[in-house]
Amino acid sequence: MPLASEEVYEKKFLDKITDKLVDTVAGIINKIKPGWIVKNKSRIDEWKLMFYAFNRSPPGVIGAILILGFILIGIFGPYFAPYSYREFLYIEYGETYLVPPGTTVVSKGKTFYFPLGTDKYGRDLVSLILYGARVSLVVSMIVIALGVPLGIILGLVAGYFGGKIDEIIMRITDTFLAFPALILAIAFAAVLPERLRPIIIYNEQLKTILSIFFAADPKDAANFAPILSVILAIIIVWWPGYTRIIRGSVLSVRENLYVEAARALGVSTWKILTRHILPNVISPVLVLITLDVGAVILVEAGLSFLGLGAQDPMVDWGKIVYDGAQFFPDRWWLVIFPGLATFLAVLGWNLVGDTLRDVLDPRTRRSIEFKIKKKKPVPSSEEGGSS
Amino acid sequence: MAGLKEYLIRRAITFIPTIIGVTLIVFIIANIIPADPARAWAGGERARPEIVARIRKQYHLDDPWYIQYIFVMKGIISYFTSPTHEGAIVNPLTSRYIFDDIFLRFPTTFQLALFAEIFILTIGIPLGLISALKRNSWIDTFVRFFALTGTSMPIFWFGYIMMWIFFTNLRWTSLAGVPLPRCYEHGTCPVTTHIPIFDALIAGEFDIVMQIIRRFWLPGFVLGFRAAGVLARIVRNSFLDALSSDFIEFAKAKGLPKRWIWKHALKNAFVPVITVIGLQFGSLLGGAVITETVFGLPGLGRYTVNAINYLNMPAVIGATLLFAFIYMVVNLVVDIVYSAIDPRIRY
């Protein structure tokens, strides 16, 4: 039942989908915390509005589709791959050596079709890229899931408590930031595998979990160590940026009256940090996180291009290029296709991050909202109002 | 310029704990490897035990970590303080001084970064200004698209594509060797800067200069491409911010000529731009490692990666330290320029 003062928006097909999405999420939260929907009605409307604004940006929608594709391929790709990354067809079927895209190979009574060609072991490039997507997805998600909270927590602590704690945390942060990020990541990714390998090999549970994560054969357990090292190395270089940004915002937010009021009321420090300060410093970071997923994918690909990530027979996008580069430009497909996959995945995150920046900025969002408002005159003296 | 001197001194003092921290991190990296590097340095599995023992003693590998740390730091400092390099740290594989090796490779990386920086500035700044002036036009959209694709492309992928266009097809570049001025061989250089392109220019060997440009322009372009797009966006945004600020409105109202308004706006717009150029230099150095690999340039990045592959930890320490040092110095210079432009910074 629309009220007179309620805003009515022109909805498109996409808006209905995102409405459903928000309603479903709200429904799930409501199941956990009964009464949540009623209490947070305005918040739900705000989310829906953000999506309307997002849906009206073609680059944003293209980015979202690319991200969705990247995530779906990352999760399900390895299961749909025509061949396993361990199927070295070249050993048995010599004709499959470095076959160009779109060739059908008939060897020993068997027919193989390679839409994107094969590598020097006669492995199907489509399958390799699908397996590589999994590694890229897992690495970027773990780095963001661990590195960003680490940076945020340290930033909160440094900014809120100040004094000696602040000084110590920030000196350490500055030290890490003094290195060019990729150089430090290269160094850590190079030395960590030797430490991690025994831990993985002698731990059956970890081996099983990682082989599911990387969609890899447990026989390759020794090769999980370099990928794990890449993850650790990127986390090590990634947190300081967040610490510095969050600390800066906390310094200004903690002077607000509501923080002082909470402290006077005897609210616990933990609660002040998570309930009063964090929500106010997190929104600029959201955009950064989105952009950083792409950046992590790039760094991971770069490290494995230098021979530091996945080791034979495991693959990721950078590793395929690393192996294929020696045949460039004659066997161009080994460089072009995995690079293209990386490019599209990163582009998706960058497009969405760019659009999110506009959507999360109240000034730009308001102007988009006005554009999509129904032009029908509302029978009320007061039009508009707060969302 | 009152206060600038004090600011610089303060800034230089904060430099010291950071550089100690940097050496500590580098040292930790070198000590993560549990494998016995001495055996690898002595020649692998078949190494004679007495040689392994000698190397272990020479590099203090059996001593506690702080003695190793002091040994390494002494080895680094004494290379620069003692004219004969007495006690300087030595590459265990080649028995040459680590920093002799490093400074042999450094000019290549420097020239690569120089070409990249030239491309970044000559593409990024004009493009940013144009897109700010022609806001929401096709060129503005193009710059946005350029920045987005630039940040999304894996640098090695872009490198191979460019190589295919400009080397395989057009032959506009060369990929073999690194040209050096002839006067290096004869020892007749009038002034030695150790940077080949400068030395060739000073010695008047313009054919060598052309050869260096031919060899370096493409890697430089590939390395700078990403940063150029980002810089264009930053220039655009900060120029627009400056143009819409109160003092420009005031200047317009006062009837100042357009040229003056521009001058004021530009000066204020360049404060954030300079910071970005400094920060980008870090990713430039990182990208240089990949670019050198793609284009087969024997620079510092290649050296580091090779050193890592041979577990040559003294070399890794030296190279990583130099990278960090360059980056820190660039940021120090940026801070100084920054505070010279904007006196409010010197709090």
pLDDT value of position A139:
95
Work out the minimum CA distance from B59 to partner chain A, whole angstroms.
18
Tell me the chain A residues in contact with residue B327 when contact means C-beta distances shorter than 8 Å: 178-180
Mean pLDDT of A124-153: 94
Could you state, in order of their start, the residue ranges of all structural domains in chain A? 88-122, 127-354
Q: Which of A178, A191, A339 sits opposite B328 (nearest CB)?
A: A178
Cα–Cα distance for residue pair B252/B10, rounded to 1 Å: 39
pLDDT value of position A384:
45
Q: Which of B35, B163, B324 sits opposite A179 (nearest CB)?
A: B324
**In chain A, what is the greatest distance between 2 CA atoms, to the nearest angstrom?**
82
pLDDT value of position B311:
78
pLDDT value of position A7:
61
Q: Which of B18, B34, B285 sits opposite A195 (nearest CB)?
A: B34
Please, is B205 exposed, middle or buried when counting C-beta atoms within 10 Å of its C-beta (0-12, 13-18, 19+)? Answer: buried
pLDDT tens, position by position, A192-233: 888 888 888 888 898 999 999 998 888 888 889 999 999 999
pLDDT at A15 over 80: yes
Mean pLDDT of A228-246: 94
Taking an 8 Å cut-off on Cβ atoms, the answer to whether A302 and B155 are in contact is yes
CA-nearest residue to A299 within chain B is B154
Mean pLDDT of A43-47: 84
Most confident of A13-17, A83-87, A94-98, A245-249: A245-249
Cα–Cα distance for residue pair B76/B322, rounded to 1 Å: 11
Tell me the chain A residues in contact with residue B316 when contact means C-beta distances shorter than 8 Å: 187, 190
Find where tokens 């690999």 sit: B293
Residue of A179, A199, A311 to mutate when probing chain B, most B C-beta within 10 A: A179
Check CB contact of A176 with chain B, cutoff 8 Å: yes
Task: Tell me the residue type at A301.
Answer: A
Tokens found for residue A228: 């794990």
CATH of A127-354, one of 3.90.850.10, 1.10.3720.10, 3.40.630.150, 1.10.760.10: 1.10.3720.10
Check CB contact of A195 with chain B, cutoff 8 Å: yes
Q: Which of B18, B29, B293 sits opposite A178 (nearest CB)?
A: B18
Please, is B262 exposed, middle or buried when counting C-beta atoms within 10 Å of its C-beta (0-12, 13-18, 19+)? Answer: middle
Tell me the chain A residues in contact with residue B291 when contact means C-beta distances shorter than 8 Å: none
Cα–Cα distance for residue pair B23/A32, rounded to 1 Å: 50
CB B269 within 8 A of CB B242: yes
Taking an 8 Å cut-off on Cβ atoms, the answer to whether A321 and B308 are in contact is no
Confidence grade of residue A295 (pLDDT, cut at 50, 70, 90): very high
Dihedral sign, Cα of residue A335, residue A341, residue A342, residue A347: positive
Name the average pLDDT for chain A: 87
Q: Which of B18, B33, B282 sits opposite A180 (nearest CB)?
A: B282
Find where tokens 């890592």 sit: B308
Q: Which residues contact A254 (CB under 8 A, 6 or more apart)?
A: A159, A160, A277
CA-nearest residue to A353 within chain B is B148
Task: Tell me the residue type at A245.
Answer: I
Q: DSSP string of A160-175?
A: HH-HHHHHHHHHHHHH
Tokens found for residue A65: 């589709």
Cα–Cα distance for residue pair B260/B156, rounded to 1 Å: 44
Tell me the chain B residues in contact with residue A302 when contact means C-beta distances shorter than 8 Å: 154-156, 286, 290
For the packed helices B258-295 and B300-309, what is the interaxial angle rounded to 10 degrees?
40
Q: Which of A175, A185, A340 sits opposite B21 (nearest CB)?
A: A175
pLDDT at B259 over 90: no
Work out the minimum CA distance from A186 to partner chain B, whole angstroms.
8
Cα–Cα distance for residue pair A219/A79, rounded to 1 Å: 18
Tell me the chain B residues in contact with residue A307 when contact means C-beta distances shorter than 8 Å: 305, 309
pLDDT tens, position by position, A51-73: 888 888 888 999 999 999 999 99
pLDDT value of position A44:
86
Mean pLDDT of A80-101: 85
Work out the minimum CA distance from A34 to partner chain B, whole angstroms.
43
Short-list A12, A32, A124, CA closest to A78: A124
Task: Tell me the residue type at B317.
Answer: I
Work out the minimum CA distance from B204 to partner chain A, whole angstroms.
36
Work out the minimum CA distance from B302 to partner chain A, whole angstroms.
10
Q: Which of B19, B32, B149 sits opposite A191 (nearest CB)?
A: B32
Short-list B14, B295, B17, CA closest to B174: B295
Short-list A208, A231, A230, A227, CA closest to A219: A208
pLDDT tens, position by position, B288-299: 999 999 999 999
Provide the β-strand partners of residue A112.
A105
pLDDT value of position A1:
45
Residue of B11, B156, B312 to mutate when probing chain A, most A C-beta within 10 A: B156
Share of chain B above pLDDT 70, in %: 97
- Rounded to the nearest angstrom, the gap between the alpha carbon of residue B94 and the centroid of all alpha carbons in its chain is 26
pLDDT at B98 over 70: yes
Provide the β-strand partners of residue B90.
B97
Taking an 8 Å cut-off on Cβ atoms, the answer to whether B151 and A171 are in contact is no
Dihedral sign, Cα of residue B46, residue B49, residue B50, residue B51: positive
Check CB contact of A129 with chain B, cutoff 8 Å: no
Between positions 286 and 305 of A, the ones with CB within 8 A of B are 294-295, 298, 301-302, 305
Q: Which uninterrupted H or E stretch holds A103?
A: strand A103-107
pLDDT at B14 over 90: no
Work out the minimum CA distance from B122 to partner chain A, whole angstroms.
23
pLDDT tens, position by position, A100-116: 898 888 888 888 888 89
pLDDT value of position A108:
82
Cα–Cα distance for residue pair A149/A154, rounded to 1 Å: 8
Please state, as a whole number, how many other Cβ atoms lie within 10 Å of the Cβ of residue A247: 24
Taking an 8 Å cut-off on Cβ atoms, the answer to whether B293 and A332 are in contact is no
Please state, as a whole number, how many other Cβ atoms lie within 10 Å of the Cβ of residue A164: 8
pLDDT tens, position by position, B56-96: 777 777 777 788 888 888 888 888 887 777 777 888 777 78
pLDDT value of position A68:
95
The Cα-based distances of A184 to A73, A302, B20 in angstroms read: 30, 13, 16
Check CB contact of A164 with chain B, cutoff 8 Å: no
Tell me the chain A residues in contact with residue B304 when contact means C-beta distances shorter than 8 Å: 183, 186-187
Cα–Cα distance for residue pair B210/A286, rounded to 1 Å: 47
CB A54 within 8 A of CB A60: yes
Mean pLDDT of A273-280: 88
Q: Is A380 helix (H, G, I), strand (E, B) or coil?
A: coil
**In chain B, what is the greatest distance between 2 CA atoms, to the nearest angstrom?**
85
pLDDT value of position B34:
61
pLDDT value of position A256:
87
Q: Residue A179: what are its φ and ψ, rounded to 5°?
A: -90, 145
Size of interface A-B (CB pairs under 8 A): 157
Work out the minimum CA distance from B197 to partner chain A, whole angstroms.
25
pLDDT value of position B159:
94
Taking an 8 Å cut-off on Cβ atoms, the answer to whether A171 and B18 are in contact is yes
What DSSP state is assigned to residue A111? E
- Rounded to the nearest angstrom, the gap between the alpha carbon of residue A109 and the centroid of all alpha carbons in its chain is 44
- Rounded to the nearest angstrom, the gap between the alpha carbon of residue A60 and the centroid of all alpha carbons in its chain is 15
CB A117 within 8 A of CB A98: yes
Work out the minimum CA distance from A288 to partner chain B, whole angstroms.
14
Dihedral sign, Cα of residue B217, residue B219, residue B224, residue B229: positive
Most confident of A309-313, A336-340, B81-85: A336-340
Short-list A337, A332, A102, A339, CA closest to B169: A332
Predicted TM-score (pTM) of the model is 0.90
CB B153 within 8 A of CB A343: yes
Mean pLDDT of B12-21: 84
Least confident of A124-133, A146-155, B214-223, B316-325: B316-325
Residue of B151, B230, B291 to mutate when probing chain A, most A C-beta within 10 A: B151
Work out the minimum CA distance from A181 to partner chain B, whole angstroms.
7
Q: Residue B94: what are its φ and ψ, rounded to 5°?
A: -115, -5
Rg (CA), chain B: 24
pLDDT value of position B345:
63
pLDDT value of position A70:
96
Dihedral sign, Cα of residue A57, residue A62, residue A65, residue A71: negative
Cα–Cα distance for residue pair B190/B183, rounded to 1 Å: 9
Q: Which of B35, B287, B290 sits opposite A194 (nearest CB)?
A: B35
- CA count, 13 A, side-chain hemisphere, A70: 27
Task: Tell me the residue type at B254.
Answer: K
Work out the minimum CA distance from A274 to partner chain B, whole angstroms.
31
Please state, as a whole number, how many other Cβ atoms lie within 10 Å of the Cβ of residue B284: 24
Mean pLDDT of A170-189: 91
pLDDT value of position B101:
87
